[in-house]
Every structure is written in structure tokens, then in C-alpha cells.
Amino acid sequence: MMQFDKDLQSIQEARNLVEAANRAGEQLKKFSQEQIDRIVDAIAEATIPHAESLAQMAVEETGFGRVEDKTTKNLFASVNVHRYIRPLRTVGFLSDDPDNKVQEIAVPMGVVAAIIPSTNPTSTAIYKALISLKAGNSVVMSPHPSARNCILETCRIMEEAARKAGAPEGSIGCLSLPTLAGTRELWSHKHTAVILATGGSGLVKAAYSAGKPAYGVGPGNVPAFIERSADIKKAVRDIIAGKSFDWGTVCASEQSMVVDAPVREEVIRELKKNNAYLCNEEEKRKLEKLMIVQNGGLNPKIVGKSPQFIASESGFTVPDNIRTLVVFLNEVGREEPLSCEKLSPVLGFYTVNGWEEGCEYSIRILHHGGVGHTMAIHSQNKDIIRRFGLEKPAFRVVVNSPATHGAIGLTTGVPPAMTLGPGTWGGSITSDNITPMHLVNIKRLAWETQSLDDLAQNSVQAKAAAVKPPAAVKDDDSREAVIDESEVEKIIASFVTERKGS
């Protein structure tokens, strides 16, 4: 029997899935808001009972993160995201502006090509299916090869629920043979309308070069500044909670804490109380050797792994209750290898003197691989908080909350999302948390507000006003001068002649 090349099989599968999704999309365009909402409700309801089992599959298949935290992320997508998008109007007439006589109409974009990462595989798949279908689009997913099975299972559950709720066949598709060639075929296919790319910076750049509209997510090197007025106990507890969540696999996770000098010792005491391990200089060097490869990149072996695993692989041991490894840093850049995004429960610690120096270090950290993404500030000084909001090159500035949870909208009021745009600073077209409203085109029904005759009359009056002198002036003898209006009359006569001629 002839053996077909895996890339060729993947390319053909991508073509089949996109064509099926396009057929489904043609039907979805005709669905009412009620029909769309019924499908979205069914997807959310179907995934809730499987939140833990899908998390278990993801951890076993990828080796990343913790089951309990991945379960939370799955429920975040099924419950929080769904709760936010459910009231949104995404079909038909969206708004009516009677003053300007403009009505807005939602139109689905078409087939969404969704790239799913290995770090947050099942939760991202649920999230992207919900926002795509809510916008009236079909979706085809390309799973990271190391998370193929758990993503396929997630899509199977969602597709079955969607079909039962009335969705046409092909509304939710997923590559079973994910290859780079298949993914390229998916996002360059003539029927693919838009790309939702979540993954490494190389993949995101490739998506932007595919010749299709794309929403990409860059890396996040997130600083968390603790200013001297902060509630220190809560600030440290929040940072450790954010950093240790799913062992640091969320792109909005804290990567370094920047600590105001007057509260340094109190912060250190609280770190120890919150099961953080403070590495000495020798242990720091061992971590650098393990975590950073020769080209300066991150060793994938440590991504999403526990502190105990990372310490052991580095050549030292830490107690079982440790949640985070803390390393003391002085500089930002190649001279401090661990000042980068670490995607693991390893946290940098900088000491600064005052909020101005904290501001400077936060900016340097963001520009070292996380510009535009996220930062956190812990402070009770509203003026300083406002300065950070105005001046820092991050589009999500989380205040007095874990950066991880706050940026995705779990502990703050920003739109709940698993795709967080870093804006043009980070190479993206948007700085928003991506919602269904990013996946609809807006058509505008614009009624006439003034006729061409009105415009003509307004133009005559405007020209007349432009050349008409003041109503009355007095000459040197204090006698009122006579105003010659012949120029105004000439302009009006000329304009009327032109109008008749046209």
C-alpha cells in the first residue's frame, strides 16, 4: 500500500476542514441571534463537566502545569468567558444612532483559523470556539503537536454539543495531523478569513506573514512593582499566586518583582511565609545553566514544571511545599540571563530606591521581551498608580491583584480572554483582550442627513461669510464707511451659474 507523506496528508486534511467550515459558515450567516446563542450555550455547558478530565489529559500529554490550575482555566473559558459574551449582540442590527441616522449591522468574518498552544491547550480551544461561534463564524483549529490528543478531545466534545444544538456540520474542526505544512495551508487557504494565533513569537510572526488578517499574541515579560505604600502581605501573596499558577504557563504571569527598598525585608519575610525559596548565588548560576540555552533562549525542558523538578535538574533540592524559586537580579538583559520571560515558577527579584527607579526597571523589563503586554503594580498611592498607567509600555496594568489572574479578566473587570493583544508595541494589530466583537465585520446603513442642495446652500453661505467685511467700520474722520457688497454678489452669481451648468 502506498504510504503518503505526513505533510501532504496534513495539507489535504486542512483543505477538507476549511472547505467544510466554509460550507458551515454559509449556513451560520443566516442564523438568528437566538440560534447562535443556543449553540454557544451548548458548547459551554458541554465542556463544564469535562473541565478536570481535559486538564488531566493536558498535563499527562504535555507535561506542563498542574491539573487543578488547568481545571480552573477550563472553567474560566466555559463559565467566565461565556458569561461575558452571552449578552453581546453579534447578529443583525447592533445599534441605531437616530441623530446621525447610522445603523450598524454585524456580519461574520468567515472561517477562523485558530492556532492552539501546548501551554494552555484545552482552555484556549474552548475559548476560541466560543468567541468564534458567538460571532457567527466557523472555526478550524491547529493544535500544537505535543497537545494534539487533548485538543482533539476538547473539539470532539464541543462539536458534538454544537451539532445537537443546531450547528451545521463542519462548524468546529481540528487538524488530527498537525504539521507546519498543514498549519500554513490552513491559514493561507482562500476560504480562511482571519487567524487567531497563540504561541511562540516565531509562529505569531509567521501567521502575520500569511497574507490574512490576524490577531497575534506576543510574549509577556511581566514586572510586578511593590511600592512602599503597598499592602505587603497581600502583594506578596498575589505575586506568588500568579507566578505559581499552572507553574507559570500563562503569558501574563509575573516574571520579576521590583521591590521598593524600604519594604525589602518585609517582602522577603512574606516570601518565605508564602512558600517561596530564595536561591543563593550558586543556585542561581545552576538555574541559569539549566534554563537558558546557548543561543539565549529558554530551555523547553523546564517550561511549566514544578519548582522541585527545576531545582533537581539544576543540581540542588528544595522542600516539597515550595511554590516558587526566587533569584536576586541586578541588571536587565543578557548579562542577567534570568531577567527574561521564564514560563515556569522562577521569579526575579530587583531592589529599587523609590517609585521613579521602580518605573525605570519596569520599563527595561518590559522592553526585554514583553513590551506591550502586561505589568502589575501594588500600591496605595493613586498618583503613582496613575503615573504607571500613563507611562508604562504595557496595555494591561493590573493594580493590587495577581497579574496572571487580572490580565485575563478573572480578578479584574477587563474582558475575560485567553488571547491578550500586546498592541503595535508588541507587533500586534490590537491591544485588546480578544472577544467575539473582534471577529465580526461591521456594516453601516447610513441615511442622508443633508441633501446636495443643502450642501450647496451651505457652501454659498460659507464663501460669503469668508469675504464679507465687518458690518460697519469707521474711517479716520469717525464717519461710517459704506460697505461694498459687490464681491459677495459676484461669488453667489458665479456659484449659481456653475450649479446650473453641472
Query: Of 155, 174, 251, 279, which one is the catalytic site residue?
Result: 251
Q: Is 251 a catalytic residue?
A: yes
DSSP 8-state secondary structure symbol assigned to residue 325: E
**Residue ranges in 165-229 assigned as alpha helix (H):** 180-188, 201-208
Contact criterion met (CB below 8 Å) for 452 and 476: no
Contact criterion met (CB below 8 Å) for 185 and 14: yes
**Residue ranges in 214-296 assigned as alpha helix (H):** 232-244, 264-273, 281-291
C-alpha span between 86 and 130 (Å, rounded): 10
Q: In this structure, what C-alpha cell is assigned to residue 421?
A: 493583544
Helix (H) or strand (E) holding 441: strand 440-446
Q: In this structure, what C-alpha cell is assigned to residue 240?
A: 506568588
CA distances from 285 to 289, 316, 426 (A): 6, 11, 30
Contacts by residues 262-271 (CB-CB < 8 Å, ≥ 24 positions apart): 262/228, 263/226, 263/228, 263/230, 263/232, 264/351, 266/232, 267/226, 267/232, 267/235, 267/236, 270/232, 270/233, 270/236, 270/237, 271/236, 271/240, 271/324, 271/326
Helix (H) or strand (E) holding 174: strand 172-174
What are the residue numbers of the active site? 251
